[in-house]
């Protein structure tokens, strides 16, 4: 407790923290507030109204973009989570030559600028002769989401007691039976947490999608970007607020599931 209190003794730290959080979250609160604006001018408040949410939900183009985002995020999440689970299990079996290099390669998309990943992925698809569309978006999102699914699963594996697997082997359980009856039940919170994190990363992604999407594969972030280029309207505020709420829900669930011990 004393160490925590000592942190605030540095001059200006409290003011800096307040400024940081205000700069980070006040624009989001303003966005949420103006999504309920009755005025057709996005930045002039005239009264409370929810009609813009009705307009968004009744817009066929927005719903089509949302369905594309949902298809991409769901497919990429399932594949990325499966690959991340296999990678985490393989990395947890024991030390092998080049393990640190493999671990670094898995986490490389987390540190490489996303614009670099997007351009490289686009060039890769062009060289292979792939036609840009929903399939290329799914492939790009799958690769990009693997590290986000891998980290919670790997952390969960490191927290598991290896004695449990040894006890299963002593009871004549084979590798598959041990995985199904011991490892998987203990690992599922990490898998679920990683899957939800990968899903929201894919659902919200703009940069990679913008480069590798083709005609007919517009996702919701790309559609919002197109709306903003025309001008900011309360409709833009409403659809952005809906995406923000979905993101907050999934990130919160991922955090809560990751804390489960049983």
Look at residue 164 in the predicted model and tell me its pLDDT: 65
Tens of pLDDT along 180-236?
666 777 778 888 888 988 998 998 899 999 999 888 888 988 988 888 777 777 788
Pairwise CA distance, residues 111 & 252, whole Å: 23
Do the Cβ atoms of 164 and 186 come closer than 8 Å?
yes
Look at residue 30 and give its three-state secondary structure: helix
Sign of the C-alpha dihedral computed for residues 157, 159, 164 and 169 taken in this order: positive
H or E stretch at 142: helix 134-158
Average pLDDT over residues 25-52: 80
Look at residue 1 in the predicted model and tell me its pLDDT: 46
Look at residue 235 in the predicted model and tell me its pLDDT: 80
CA distances from 152 to 27, 71, 114, 148, 254 (A): 30, 23, 21, 8, 9
Sign of the C-alpha dihedral computed for residues 80, 82, 83 and 89 taken in this order: positive
Q: What are phi and psi of 37, to 5 degrees?
A: -80, 135
Look at residue 130 in the predicted model and tell me its pLDDT: 87
Look at residue 3 in the predicted model and tell me its pLDDT: 54
pLDDT band at 262 (very low <50, low <70, confident <90, very high): very low
- Token output for 175: 């590798």
Closest CA to 149 of 196, 218, 205: 196
Name all domains of the chain by residue range, CATH numbers in brackets. Answer: 2-34 (no CATH), 56-258 (1.10.3720.10)
Tens of pLDDT along 93-143?
766 777 778 777 888 888 888 899 999 999 999 998 888 989 999 999 999
Tens of pLDDT along 47-67?
888 888 888 888 888 889 889
b/e sequence 92-109, b meaning 16+ C-beta within 10 Å: beeeeeeeeeeeeebbeb
- How many Cβ atoms are within 10 Å of 194's Cβ, its own excluded? 31
Half-sphere exposure of 203 (CA within 13 A, CB side): 22
- How many Cβ atoms are within 10 Å of 213's Cβ, its own excluded? 20
Do the Cβ atoms of 189 and 156 come closer than 8 Å?
yes
Look at residue 1 and give its three-state secondary structure: coil
Percent of the chain scoring above 70 in pLDDT: 81
Look at residue 211 in the predicted model and tell me its pLDDT: 92
- 128 or 162, greater pLDDT: 128
Residues 6+ apart with CB under 8 A from 24: none
Do the Cβ atoms of 197 and 255 come closer than 8 Å?
no
Instruction: Classify residue 216 as left (phi > 0), alpha (psi -120 to 50) or beta.
Output: left
Look at residue 260 in the predicted model and tell me its pLDDT: 60
Among 53-67, 161-175, 240-254, top mean pLDDT goes to 53-67
Look at residue 144 in the predicted model and tell me its pLDDT: 92
Rounded to whole angstroms, the maximal C-alpha distance in the chain is: 72
Is the pLDDT score of 77 beyond 90? yes
């Amino acid at each position: 407790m004393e160490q925590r209190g000592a942190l605030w003794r540095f001059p200006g730290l409290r003011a800096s923290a307040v400024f940081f959080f205000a700069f980070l979250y006040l624009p989001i609160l303003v966005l949420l507030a103006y999504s309920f604006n009755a005025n057709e001018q996005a930045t002039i408040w005239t009264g409370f109204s929810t009609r813009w949410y009705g307009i968004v939900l009744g817009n066929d183009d927005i719903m089509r973009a949302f369905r594309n985002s949902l298809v991409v995020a769901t497919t990429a999440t399932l594949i990325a989570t499966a690959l991340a689970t296999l990678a985490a299990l393989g990395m947890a079996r024991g030390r092998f030559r080049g393990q640190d290099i493999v671990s670094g390669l898995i986490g490389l998309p987390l540190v490489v600028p996303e614009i670099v990943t997007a351009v490289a992925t686009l060039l890769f698809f062009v060289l292979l002769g792939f036609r840009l569309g929903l399939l290329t978006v799914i492939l790009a999102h799958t690769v990009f989401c693997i590290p986000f699914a891998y980290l919670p699963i790997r952390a969960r594996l490191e927290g598991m007691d290896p004695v449990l697997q040894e006890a299963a082997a002593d009871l004549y359980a084979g590798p598959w039976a041990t995985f199904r009856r011991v490892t998987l039940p203990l690992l599922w919170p990490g898998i679920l947490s990683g899957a939800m994190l990968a899903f929201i990363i894919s659902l919200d992604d703009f940069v990679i999608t913008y480069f590798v999407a083709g005609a007919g594969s517009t996702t919701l972030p790309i559609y919002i970007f197109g709306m903003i280029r025309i001008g900011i309207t309360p409709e833009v505020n409403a659809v952005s607020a809906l995406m923000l709420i979905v993101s907050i829900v999934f990130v919160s669930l991922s955090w809560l599931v990751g804390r489960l011990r049983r």
